[in-house]
A and B are shown apart, each in its own frame.
Chain A
């Protein structure tokens, strides 16, 4: 059975403090710590591209698991900040990691919902093509596209990448996935010259969509809150994580909040949390749920089996 064998992350050490922006944006410590929940943003080194970030995550994976690149049959990169429009970033990563010519490589262009979509994609693709080892990357560098004068986004986003090793000796296996899109609202979170986000629209969408989506997925699988060990939500902001938790009516201790030291890392936010849980948490079912640019959302139930 294919599933998640391991997860590694790359979060740049260079951090930008929101406390230094208090005067500029007329905000206080309470707003930083209890509302957006981001104290520091991780900022990549100047010139570092999406593929470089993937390579950094892979180097960290090599410290956790001895991977022979020759065995990798599939390489997917989830990003909306590709190195170039042409070619796909997965091809560049393929080259930099010296993966074999028989390895399939392609990108998935999704934002916050990208990891859950990516997980379903890579497992289905590998299963249908008889593959045994694959790499799912997430990588976004919003520091390249942010308007530093825009309070809605400048306080929120951080750079990061992750890599998930998919194989036949998994720790987490997927049980079910569910997806959704509201393309009519695509302009509410968009990068034209710089990133624009209608904070109110994105908040309303998330607060109304995510809890219902999670509940429907649990119901479909005959599960209730008692069956779920944790809910790993996309770390949009503390306020949105808290709002979804309240609307779900679940114990807040089941819903980790983890972005304070690095920011909203888009499609990397869920694998960053999973990477911490994979080696420490007991066996059990967890819910993944992510929502954002598109507008797009995706939820999954996965189970830790060892």
Chain B
């Protein structure tokens, strides 16, 4: 799956979090950038819906940052 950083940032914006999208760092955990656990649940749901994938709870540790999300989705067949 070919996913861009911009697509993931758009989803984070759509989730209406407190994160500052202008200064969001791709390699830093979202939870360290004003994204809380409820926002994360929403972001993962939006990703599941947009890309028609199911993200198991046990994979969540791989999806903590923008880079992590892009990498995880890119590795899905």
A128 at the interface (CB under 8 A from B): no
Most chain B CB within a 10 A radius of its CB, from A30, A201, A204, A208: A204
> By DSSP majority rule, is chain A's interface helix, strand, loop, or mixed?
helix
Given A201-B57, A204-B41, also A31-B36 (CB < 8 A): yes
Taking CB atoms and an 8 Å cut-off, the chain A residues in 36-58 that contact chain B are 36
- How many of chain B's residues have a CB under 8 angstroms from any CB in A? 13
Neighbouring B residues of A239 by C-beta, 8 Å: 38, 42
Task: Find out whether the CB atom of A203 lies under 8 angstroms from the CB atom of B36.
Answer: no
Neighbouring B residues of A237 by C-beta, 8 Å: 38
Taking CB atoms and an 8 Å cut-off, the chain A residues in 144-194 that contact chain B are none
B19 at the interface (CB under 8 A from A): no
A282 at the interface (CB under 8 A from B): no
B18 at the interface (CB under 8 A from A): yes
Chain B 40-75 per-residue mask, 1 if CB under 8 angstroms from chain A, else 0: 111011001100000001001000000000000000
Task: Using C-beta atoms within 8 Å of the partner chain, give the interface range for chain A.
Answer: 10 to 19
Given A31-B36, A35-B36, also A207-B57 (CB < 8 A): no
- In the complex, what distance in Å separates the CA atom of A56 from the CA atom of B38? 35
Q: Which listed residue, A31, A36, A199, touches B41 by the CB 8 Å rule?
A: A199
Neighbouring B residues of A204 by C-beta, 8 Å: 41, 44-45, 48
Q: Which listed residue, B38, B57, B60, touches A203 by the CB 8 Å rule?
A: B38
Task: Find out whether the CB atom of B42 lies under 8 angstroms from the CB atom of A198.
Answer: no
A200 at the interface (CB under 8 A from B): yes
Least CB distance, B15 to chain A, in whole angstroms: 10
Neighbouring A residues of B18 by C-beta, 8 Å: 30
A229 at the interface (CB under 8 A from B): no
- In the complex, what distance in Å separates the CA atom of A200 from the CA atom of B44? 9
Task: Find out whether the CB atom of B57 lies under 8 angstroms from the CB atom of A199.
Answer: no
Least CB distance, B36 to chain A, in whole angstroms: 6
B37 at the interface (CB under 8 A from A): yes
Task: Find out whether the CB atom of A200 lies under 8 angstroms from the CB atom of B36.
Answer: no
- In the complex, what distance in Å separates the CA atom of A201 from the CA atom of B49? 14
Least CB distance, B53 to chain A, in whole angstroms: 13
A243 at the interface (CB under 8 A from B): yes
Task: Find out whether the CB atom of B45 lies under 8 angstroms from the CB atom of A208.
Answer: yes
Neighbouring B residues of A200 by C-beta, 8 Å: 40-41, 44, 57, 60
Q: Which 3 A-B pairs have the closest CB atoms?
A: A200-B41, A203-B41, A239-B38
